[in-house]
Amino acid sequence: MRAASLVVFALGLSLPALNAALALDAAPRPQPLAPTTKYSSAGQALRDGVRDYYAGNKRVAAQALEYAAGQGHTLALWKLGRMYADGDGVQHDDLKAFEYFSKLADQNADESPDSPNASVVASAFVAIGTYFLDGIKDTYVTPNPGRALEMFHYAASYFSDPNAQYNLARLYLDGTGVEKDERLAARWFNLAAEKGHHASQALLGHLLINGQGVPRQRARGLMWLTLARESSDPVKEAWISELYEKAFAATGESDRKFALALLEQYLQSRR
Protein backbone atom coordinates (compact mmCIF):
# COMPACT_ATOMS: atom_id res chain seq x y z
CA MET A 1 0.00 0.00 0.00
CA ARG A 2 1.37 3.41 -0.95
CA ALA A 3 2.33 5.47 2.10
CA ALA A 4 0.12 8.34 0.98
CA SER A 5 -2.95 6.16 1.58
CA LEU A 6 -2.14 5.64 5.25
CA VAL A 7 -4.64 8.11 6.67
CA VAL A 8 -7.57 6.89 4.58
CA PHE A 9 -6.63 3.32 5.47
CA ALA A 10 -6.32 4.31 9.13
CA LEU A 11 -9.93 5.45 9.10
CA GLY A 12 -10.95 2.04 7.82
CA LEU A 13 -12.78 3.71 4.92
CA SER A 14 -12.60 3.62 1.16
CA LEU A 15 -12.54 7.02 -0.50
CA PRO A 16 -16.29 6.89 -1.32
CA ALA A 17 -17.03 5.81 2.25
CA LEU A 18 -14.82 8.58 3.58
CA ASN A 19 -16.74 11.14 1.53
CA ALA A 20 -20.01 9.76 2.86
CA ALA A 21 -18.69 9.95 6.40
CA LEU A 22 -17.77 13.58 5.88
CA ALA A 23 -21.26 14.31 4.60
CA LEU A 24 -22.81 12.65 7.64
CA ASP A 25 -20.58 14.44 10.12
CA ALA A 26 -22.62 15.86 12.99
CA ALA A 27 -19.96 18.14 14.45
CA PRO A 28 -20.79 21.85 14.59
CA ARG A 29 -18.86 23.59 11.83
CA PRO A 30 -17.57 27.16 11.66
CA GLN A 31 -19.12 29.51 9.15
CA PRO A 32 -17.18 29.28 5.87
CA LEU A 33 -14.85 32.14 5.21
CA ALA A 34 -15.62 34.44 2.30
CA PRO A 35 -14.09 33.14 -0.93
CA THR A 36 -11.38 35.17 -2.55
CA THR A 37 -9.67 35.14 -5.93
CA LYS A 38 -7.22 37.98 -5.47
CA TYR A 39 -4.18 35.71 -5.23
CA SER A 40 -2.10 34.94 -8.30
CA SER A 41 -0.65 31.76 -6.78
CA ALA A 42 -0.70 29.54 -3.71
CA GLY A 43 2.73 30.88 -2.81
CA GLN A 44 1.50 34.47 -2.82
CA ALA A 45 -1.53 33.52 -0.73
CA LEU A 46 0.72 31.78 1.80
CA ARG A 47 3.02 34.79 2.06
CA ASP A 48 0.07 37.16 2.50
CA GLY A 49 -1.49 34.82 5.05
CA VAL A 50 1.68 34.60 7.12
CA ARG A 51 2.12 38.39 6.96
CA ASP A 52 -1.47 39.03 8.09
CA TYR A 53 -1.26 36.36 10.79
CA TYR A 54 1.74 37.95 12.47
CA ALA A 55 0.19 41.39 12.02
CA GLY A 56 -2.73 40.18 14.12
CA ASN A 57 -5.24 39.99 11.23
CA LYS A 58 -5.86 36.31 11.74
CA ARG A 59 -9.25 36.03 10.08
CA VAL A 60 -7.89 37.69 6.94
CA ALA A 61 -4.86 35.41 7.23
CA ALA A 62 -7.13 32.36 7.36
CA GLN A 63 -8.78 33.41 4.09
CA ALA A 64 -5.42 33.60 2.37
CA LEU A 65 -4.28 30.31 3.89
CA GLU A 66 -7.48 28.57 2.82
CA TYR A 67 -6.84 29.66 -0.76
CA ALA A 68 -3.30 28.26 -0.58
CA ALA A 69 -4.52 25.09 1.14
CA GLY A 70 -7.09 24.60 -1.61
CA GLN A 71 -4.15 24.47 -4.01
CA GLY A 72 -2.57 21.79 -1.83
CA HIS A 73 0.15 24.00 -0.31
CA THR A 74 1.76 21.98 2.49
CA LEU A 75 2.54 24.82 4.89
CA ALA A 76 -0.92 26.36 4.48
CA LEU A 77 -2.59 23.02 5.26
CA TRP A 78 -0.47 22.63 8.37
CA LYS A 79 -0.98 26.20 9.61
CA LEU A 80 -4.76 25.98 9.15
CA GLY A 81 -4.78 22.67 10.97
CA ARG A 82 -3.04 24.27 13.90
CA MET A 83 -5.28 27.33 13.86
CA TYR A 84 -8.47 25.24 13.97
CA ALA A 85 -7.00 22.88 16.57
CA ASP A 86 -6.11 25.80 18.84
CA GLY A 87 -9.00 28.13 18.02
CA ASP A 88 -6.35 30.62 16.95
CA GLY A 89 -8.09 33.39 15.00
CA VAL A 90 -10.85 31.00 13.87
CA GLN A 91 -13.58 29.06 15.62
CA HIS A 92 -12.13 26.01 17.34
CA ASP A 93 -12.96 22.92 15.28
CA ASP A 94 -11.06 19.67 15.90
CA LEU A 95 -12.68 17.87 12.99
CA LYS A 96 -11.67 20.57 10.53
CA ALA A 97 -8.14 20.48 11.97
CA PHE A 98 -8.12 16.68 11.58
CA GLU A 99 -9.19 17.01 7.94
CA TYR A 100 -6.49 19.56 7.12
CA PHE A 101 -3.83 17.40 8.78
CA SER A 102 -5.18 14.32 6.98
CA LYS A 103 -5.05 16.00 3.59
CA LEU A 104 -1.51 17.14 4.28
CA ALA A 105 -0.43 13.64 5.33
CA ASP A 106 -2.16 11.93 2.40
CA GLN A 107 -0.53 14.22 -0.13
CA ASN A 108 2.96 14.24 1.39
CA ALA A 109 3.48 10.92 3.18
CA ASP A 110 6.30 10.05 0.75
CA GLU A 111 8.10 13.35 1.36
CA SER A 112 11.83 12.82 1.76
CA PRO A 113 12.86 12.83 5.44
CA ASP A 114 15.56 15.34 4.45
CA SER A 115 13.21 17.81 2.74
CA PRO A 116 12.40 21.23 4.24
CA ASN A 117 8.76 20.17 4.71
CA ALA A 118 9.51 16.87 6.46
CA SER A 119 8.98 18.21 9.98
CA VAL A 120 5.61 19.68 9.02
CA VAL A 121 4.44 16.42 7.46
CA ALA A 122 5.62 14.45 10.48
CA SER A 123 3.80 16.91 12.74
CA ALA A 124 0.59 16.24 10.82
CA PHE A 125 0.92 12.49 11.41
CA VAL A 126 1.46 13.14 15.12
CA ALA A 127 -1.63 15.36 15.27
CA ILE A 128 -3.73 12.71 13.50
CA GLY A 129 -2.48 10.07 15.90
CA THR A 130 -3.35 12.25 18.87
CA TYR A 131 -6.91 12.67 17.57
CA PHE A 132 -7.22 8.91 17.14
CA LEU A 133 -6.30 8.34 20.78
CA ASP A 134 -9.44 10.01 22.16
CA GLY A 135 -11.52 10.49 19.02
CA ILE A 136 -13.50 13.64 18.22
CA LYS A 137 -16.90 13.73 19.89
CA ASP A 138 -19.98 13.48 17.64
CA THR A 139 -17.93 12.80 14.50
CA TYR A 140 -16.75 9.82 12.48
CA VAL A 141 -13.33 10.06 14.19
CA THR A 142 -13.80 7.55 17.00
CA PRO A 143 -11.18 6.50 19.60
CA ASN A 144 -8.82 4.03 17.96
CA PRO A 145 -5.48 3.55 19.78
CA GLY A 146 -4.38 1.01 17.17
CA ARG A 147 -4.65 3.62 14.43
CA ALA A 148 -2.87 6.13 16.65
CA LEU A 149 -0.05 3.60 16.96
CA GLU A 150 0.22 3.40 13.16
CA MET A 151 0.38 7.18 12.77
CA PHE A 152 2.99 7.62 15.51
CA HIS A 153 5.06 4.68 14.26
CA TYR A 154 5.17 6.02 10.70
CA ALA A 155 6.33 9.48 11.75
CA ALA A 156 8.73 8.04 14.33
CA SER A 157 10.40 5.56 11.99
CA TYR A 158 10.22 7.21 8.55
CA PHE A 159 10.70 10.84 9.61
CA SER A 160 12.54 10.16 12.91
CA ASP A 161 10.30 12.78 14.49
CA PRO A 162 11.01 13.14 18.25
CA ASN A 163 7.41 14.00 19.16
CA ALA A 164 6.22 10.88 17.34
CA GLN A 165 8.91 8.81 19.04
CA TYR A 166 7.80 10.14 22.41
CA ASN A 167 4.13 9.40 21.74
CA LEU A 168 4.96 5.94 20.45
CA ALA A 169 7.04 5.24 23.55
CA ARG A 170 4.14 6.31 25.76
CA LEU A 171 1.84 3.80 24.04
CA TYR A 172 4.32 0.99 24.72
CA LEU A 173 4.93 2.17 28.26
CA ASP A 174 1.22 2.27 29.10
CA GLY A 175 0.12 -0.64 26.90
CA THR A 176 -2.29 1.57 24.96
CA GLY A 177 -3.29 0.07 21.62
CA VAL A 178 -0.42 -2.37 21.87
CA GLU A 179 0.99 -4.93 24.27
CA LYS A 180 2.88 -3.21 27.08
CA ASP A 181 6.62 -3.31 26.42
CA GLU A 182 8.88 -1.18 28.63
CA ARG A 183 11.97 -2.23 26.66
CA LEU A 184 10.55 -0.81 23.42
CA ALA A 185 9.33 2.24 25.31
CA ALA A 186 12.87 2.90 26.56
CA ARG A 187 14.22 2.45 23.02
CA TRP A 188 11.89 5.07 21.55
CA PHE A 189 12.38 7.43 24.51
CA ASN A 190 16.14 7.16 23.98
CA LEU A 191 15.90 8.10 20.29
CA ALA A 192 13.84 11.19 21.13
CA ALA A 193 15.99 12.05 24.16
CA GLU A 194 19.11 12.16 21.99
CA LYS A 195 17.36 14.82 19.90
CA GLY A 196 16.77 16.98 22.98
CA HIS A 197 13.13 16.05 23.64
CA HIS A 198 12.98 16.83 27.37
CA ALA A 199 9.83 14.82 28.21
CA SER A 200 11.52 11.77 26.67
CA GLN A 201 14.69 12.53 28.61
CA ALA A 202 12.68 12.62 31.83
CA LEU A 203 10.87 9.32 31.26
CA LEU A 204 13.99 7.59 29.98
CA GLY A 205 15.79 8.75 33.12
CA HIS A 206 12.92 7.44 35.25
CA LEU A 207 13.11 4.02 33.58
CA LEU A 208 16.89 3.88 34.05
CA ILE A 209 16.64 4.88 37.71
CA ASN A 210 14.14 2.09 38.39
CA GLY A 211 15.47 -0.51 35.96
CA GLN A 212 12.19 -0.72 34.03
CA GLY A 213 12.72 -2.34 30.63
CA VAL A 214 16.44 -1.59 30.85
CA PRO A 215 19.26 -2.48 33.24
CA ARG A 216 19.25 -0.13 36.23
CA GLN A 217 21.71 2.74 35.68
CA ARG A 218 21.01 5.33 38.33
CA ALA A 219 23.76 7.75 37.35
CA ARG A 220 22.73 7.77 33.69
CA GLY A 221 19.10 8.10 34.68
CA LEU A 222 19.91 11.09 36.88
CA MET A 223 21.86 12.63 34.00
CA TRP A 224 18.81 12.46 31.69
CA LEU A 225 16.51 13.82 34.39
CA THR A 226 18.92 16.70 35.03
CA LEU A 227 18.87 17.61 31.33
CA ALA A 228 15.08 17.36 31.25
CA ARG A 229 14.62 19.55 34.32
CA GLU A 230 16.89 22.26 32.95
CA SER A 231 14.99 22.55 29.65
CA SER A 232 11.41 22.10 30.89
CA ASP A 233 8.83 24.61 32.07
CA PRO A 234 8.83 24.36 35.90
CA VAL A 235 5.15 25.32 36.09
CA LYS A 236 3.56 23.52 33.14
CA GLU A 237 5.81 20.49 33.48
CA ALA A 238 6.18 20.21 37.22
CA TRP A 239 6.06 16.41 36.91
CA ILE A 240 9.58 16.47 35.48
CA SER A 241 10.94 18.28 38.52
CA GLU A 242 9.10 15.81 40.75
CA LEU A 243 10.71 12.85 38.97
CA TYR A 244 14.10 14.55 39.29
CA GLU A 245 13.69 15.14 43.04
CA LYS A 246 12.70 11.51 43.63
CA ALA A 247 15.64 10.29 41.55
CA PHE A 248 18.08 12.58 43.35
CA ALA A 249 16.86 11.31 46.71
CA ALA A 250 17.22 7.70 45.54
CA THR A 251 20.87 8.07 44.49
CA GLY A 252 24.00 8.19 46.56
CA GLU A 253 26.93 10.57 46.37
CA SER A 254 28.91 8.37 43.98
CA ASP A 255 25.97 8.14 41.55
CA ARG A 256 25.50 11.90 41.67
CA LYS A 257 29.17 12.55 40.86
CA PHE A 258 29.07 10.02 38.05
CA ALA A 259 25.88 11.64 36.71
CA LEU A 260 27.64 15.01 36.65
CA ALA A 261 30.56 13.51 34.75
CA LEU A 262 28.19 11.89 32.24
CA LEU A 263 26.38 15.19 31.84
CA GLU A 264 29.59 17.09 31.10
CA GLN A 265 30.62 14.42 28.60
CA TYR A 266 27.20 14.58 26.91
CA LEU A 267 27.26 18.36 26.60
CA GLN A 268 30.82 18.41 25.24
CA SER A 269 29.93 15.86 22.57
CA ARG A 270 27.27 18.24 21.23
CA ARG A 271 29.38 21.37 20.97
Mean of the pLDDT values across residues 189-206? 97
Q: Whole-model pTM?
A: 0.84
Are 181 and 172 in contact, with CB atoms under 8 Å apart?
yes
Binned at pLDDT 50, 70 and 90, residue 271 comes out as: confident
d(CA 221, CA 229): 12
Using an 8 Å Cβ cutoff, are 232 and 241 in contact? yes
Q: Could you give the count of Cα atoms lying within 13 Å of 268 in the half-sphere of its Cβ?
A: 6
pLDDT band of residue 27 (cuts 50, 70, 90) is very low
Query: Residue 226 in contact with residue 263, Cβ under 8 Å?
Result: yes
pLDDT of residue 38: 79
Residue 254 has pLDDT above 50, yes or no: yes
pLDDT at 37: 58
Mean pLDDT of 234-257: 95
36 Rama class: left (phi>0) / alpha (psi -120 to 50) / beta? beta
**Chain segment 63-87, per-residue pLDDT in tens:** 999 999 999 999 999 999 999 999 9
Digit-coded pLDDT (tens) for 106-150: 999 999 999 999 999 999 999 999 999 999 999 999 999 999 999
**Is the predicted pLDDT of residue 44 greater than 70, yes or no?**
yes
- Report, as an integer, the average pLDDT of 234-244: 95
Average pLDDT of the chain to the nearest whole number: 88
pLDDT of residue 24: 33
pLDDT at residue 205 is higher than 80: yes
Query: pLDDT tens for residues 163-184?
Result: 999 999 999 999 999 999 999 9
Which amino acid is located at 242 in the chain?
E
Percent of the chain scoring above 90 in pLDDT:
83
**Res 36 pLDDT > 90:** no
**Count of Cβ atoms closer than 10 Å to residue 88 Cβ:** 15
Check pLDDT > 70 for residue 233.
yes
- Write down the pLDDT at residue 151: 98
Cβ-proximal residues to 217 (8 Å cutoff; 6+ apart), any chain: 208
pLDDT recorded at residue 76: 95
